């Protein structure tokens, strides 16, 4: 393996773009685009329920307070959070019904 790597390095130094690409692809992590951090005051976001939070994000996008892609990511996160809350609520309701019916697990 060291001999193969040495050959690739020499080829890359000699101008072989494919060899250079192969070395870089295998040794460096891919670069991912990261958007800038933003700060925005979203009315109703911190204390509201999930619906109020989604409305706050939508209004912030509509008013240009936050970029659309950031708003979409926030709404997607809220959607995931909603699914988690629904699942937990359903599980709690089932447990209460089972307790009422004395169902053994």
9-32 pLDDT, tens digit each: 999 999 999 999 999 998 898 888
Q: Where are the domains of the chain?
A: 1-32, 50-100
Looking at residue 105, its pLDDT comes to 55
Q: SS3 for 89? A: helix
Instruction: Indicate the pTM of the whole model.
Output: 0.58
3-state helix, strand, coil in the chain (%, to 5): 65, 0, 35
Token pair belonging to 40: 């925005």
């Amino acid at each position: 393996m060291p001999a193969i790597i040495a050959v690739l390095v020499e080829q890359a130094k000699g101008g072989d773009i494919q060899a250079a690409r192969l070395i870089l692809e295998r040794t460096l992590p891919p670069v991912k685009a990261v958007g800038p951090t933003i700060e925005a005051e979203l009315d109703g976001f911190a204390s509201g329920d999930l619906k109020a939070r989604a409305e706050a994000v939508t209004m912030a996008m509509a008013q240009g307070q936050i970029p659309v892609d950031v708003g979409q990511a926030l709404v997607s996160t809220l959607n995931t959070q909603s699914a988690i809350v629904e699942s937990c609520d359903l599980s709690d309701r089932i447990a209460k019904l089972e307790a009422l019916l004395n169902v053994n697990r």
